[in-house]
Structure 1
Amino acid sequence: MTTNTETAVGGPLPASDLFLSLDRSGPIPLYYQIAGIIETAIADGTLPPGSRLENEVSLGERLGISRPTVRRAIQELVGKGMLVRRRGIGTQVVQRPVTRKVELTSLYEDLQNDAKHPTTELLSREMIPADAATAEALSVPEGSEVLHIRRLRFADGVPLAVLENSLPPEYASIGEADLQGRGLYQLVKARGTQISVAHQRIGARAATAEERRLLDIPAHGAVLTMERTAYSNDGRAVEFGRHCYRPDLYSFEVTLVNN
C-alpha cells in the first residue's frame, strides 16, 4: 500500500516509511507512538517548518487506525506548540518558537545566538517628518526629519516580525545594504554609539490586514507588540521602535526577583 504524509516543502513524504516503527500489539498506546514519531521527524528536520500533515481521516485510513486515535496524537503536538491547525490549510508544522529574554539586545542578535538564521526584507527606508510620538521619544521637534525604517524579519525563512524604527538624522547614513545584512544595534554601534539603556512596553492587539499578509497570520489574528526607546550612554535618545511579532512563534521571557 502506498501512503503519503503531505508536505508543503520538499514534496510528499512516504507515511509508510515514517510510521514503520508502529507497534500495534505492544503496551504503548498508538496515539502516543504516532505523536512521538511525528515529534522526532520535526526535531530531525524530516518534517521541516511549513510541512502539512495529511488530514486525520486520510492518515487514519492509510495506517488502519481510528480517527480519534490520530486526532489525539495530533492534539498532543498542537498542545506542545509543534503543530498548528489552520482553517483552509490543514495541520502544519510550525517554526520552533523564539523565546526572547527582555534584555537590551536586537532581534537579529537574539536569532543568531539561538542558532536561527535571520534574514531581512526591507519594506521601506526614508527620511520623513517626525510625528508627535516619535518627536517626543527622540527629543526632536515635531515635523523635523528622522530616518524611518520598516523591515520584515525572518527566522530560518519563516516570517517572524515587522520592525518599524525611527532614528535621529545623524544616522541617515545607514543604507539599504547595511539593513539587509546586520541588526540595527550593530549598525548604530559601528557608528560610534553605545546603547546603554532602554524603556520598553510590551502588549498585544489585532493584526492589521498588511501584518496578516506579511506574517502569514489567519484572519482576525493578533500580534504581540513591543514599543522601545533606546538611549546612548550619554543619555541621548538613539532609536524609537514599534514592532509586532507572530504570537505563535514568539514570546518574551522575564525573570522576577523578590527584593
Structure 2
Amino acid sequence: MIEVSVPQSDGSLPQHLFMDLDHAGPVPLYFQVATRIENAIVDGELPPGSRLENEIALGERLGLSRPTVRRAIQELVDKGLVVRRRGIGTQVVHGPVTRKVELTSLYDDLARDGKHPETTLLLHEVIPAGARIGELLNLDASSPVLHLRRVRSADGVPVGVLENYLPSDFVDITEADLAAHGLYQLMRGRGTTMRVARQRIGARRASAEESTLLEIDEGGPVLSMDRTAYDNSGRAVEFGHHCYRPDLYSFEITLVDK
C-alpha cells in the first residue's frame, strides 16, 4: 500500500524527500532535487493535483540557490511531470499525452492514457458555413453548420483549445452531449464512420486568448492541427482547427522505408 503524503496547504514538499542531499558530491544538486521529486510523483507520494512551493521558498528551505531549484523544476516540466499554471503555480500532472497520428479524438486519447477528460464549452452555435468552411466540407456557403469551441483538460489541467465545424446532420448535438462525451463518440453513435482524414500539423505562437485558456505565458508556443475528416462514403463530416500545449501534448509518427 502506497502512503500518500500530500504537500501542505502552502505547497511545502515533504522534508524527508531531501534529507540525503549531497552538497559536496559529484551529482549536481539540481539533478538530485529533480530526481527526488520525480520519484515521489512516480511512487504516488505526490499525486496529480499536488502543488509545489515556489522556487524561492524551496531554495531557502534546502539552502540552495534559486537557479538550482529553477533548473530542477524545469527538468520535471520537460518530462511532463509538472506544469506551471499561471496564477496557480507548479502542479503535478499524470504526464504528457502522446498522440499517434491516426484518426482518433483528443477525448479518446486522454481516456486511453488513463486520464480524466474534461470539457469547457466556449461556443455552441449554428451558423452559415461561409466560403472557407463550405469549401472544406464541400457545402454551399449558406448551408448551416454546427460551430463548436472548447477547452479540453486532463485531470483539471488544460491541454488544448478545440474548434470544430460539422455539417447540418449534426446541428442537434447539445451542450450536455459535449460535456459528457467526446465529439467523435457522438458522431460514431449516430452511425458515422470516420474513415480517412487530411491533417496538417504545425507550431505557432498562442494568441492572448489561447494563452489565458491554456494557462501559459502570453505568446508562448503551441502545437497546431487542422483536420478534415471523411466518412466511409467520402463525404466530409468534420473540420477541426486545434492548438495544444507542447509541454503536455505531442504527436507520434511511424515512418516506414519503401
- The 5 Å alignment of 1:167-186 reads 167-186=166-185
Change in Cα spacing, 1:18 to 1:238, as seen in structure 2 (3 Å) is same
Indicate the residue corresponding to 2:16 in structure 1.
17
Instruction: Say whether residues 1:220 and 2:219 are aligned partners.
Output: yes
Q: How much does 1:157 deviate? A: 0.8
- Aligned mates of 2:192, 2:88 — CA distance in 1: 46
- Maintained 8 Å contact 1:118/1:156: yes
- The 5 Å alignment of 1:134-145 reads 134-145=133-144
Q: How much does 1:146 deviate? A: 0.8
Indicate the residue corresponding to 1:147 in structure 2.
146
- Maintained 8 Å contact 2:123/2:149: yes
- Maintained 8 Å contact 2:159/2:249: yes
- The 5 Å alignment of 1:176-255 reads 176-255=175-254
- Aligned mates of 2:213, 2:11 — CA distance in 1: 26
- Aligned mates of 2:120, 2:77 — CA distance in 1: 29
Q: How much does 1:208 deviate? A: 1.2
- Maintained 8 Å contact 2:202/2:223: yes
Q: How much does 1:55 deviate? A: 1.9
- Aligned mates of 2:174, 2:84 — CA distance in 1: 40
- Maintained 8 Å contact 1:55/1:91: no
- Maintained 8 Å contact 2:224/2:242: yes
Q: How much does 1:242 deviate? A: 0.7
2:147 alignment partner AA: H
Mean Cα deviation higher: 225-234 or 67-76: 67-76
Provide structure 2 residue ranges, at least 5 long, that are not aligned to the other structure: 1-5
Mean Cα deviation higher: 111-120 or 172-181: 172-181
Give deviations 1:36-83, integer Å, cap 9, x for gaps. 211112322516457233325x43442345666545544543553445
TM-score of the superposed pair, with normalisation by structure 1 = 0.84
- Aligned mates of 1:153, 1:91 — CA distance in 2: 19
- Aligned mates of 1:176, 1:102 — CA distance in 2: 28
1:29 alignment partner AA: V
- Maintained 8 Å contact 2:120/2:150: yes
- Aligned mates of 1:98, 1:137 — CA distance in 2: 28
**Aligned residue-pair number:** 251
Instruction: Say whether residues 1:29 and 2:34 are aligned partners.
Output: no
2:192 alignment partner AA: T
TM-score of the superposed pair, with normalisation by structure 2 = 0.84
CA RMSD of aligned residues (A): 2.9
The percentage of counterpart residues that share the same residue type is: 58
Change in Cα spacing, 1:186 to 1:73, as seen in structure 2 (3 Å) is closer
Q: How much does 1:205 deviate? A: 1.7
2:143 alignment partner AA: S
- Secondary structure (helix, strand or coil) at the match of 1:187 reads helix
- Maintained 8 Å contact 1:86/1:218: no
Change in Cα spacing, 1:50 to 1:72, as seen in structure 2 (3 Å) is same
- Secondary structure (helix, strand or coil) at the match of 1:248 reads coil
Indicate the residue corresponding to 1:55 in structure 2.
55
Give deviations 1:114-168, integer Å, cap 9, x for gaps. 0010011111111101122210111101132111111111111101111111111
1:112 alignment partner AA: A
2:245 alignment partner AA: R
- Secondary structure (helix, strand or coil) at the match of 1:143 reads coil
Give deviations 1:176-233, integer Å, cap 9, x for gaps. 1111111111111111111111111111222111111111120221221111111110
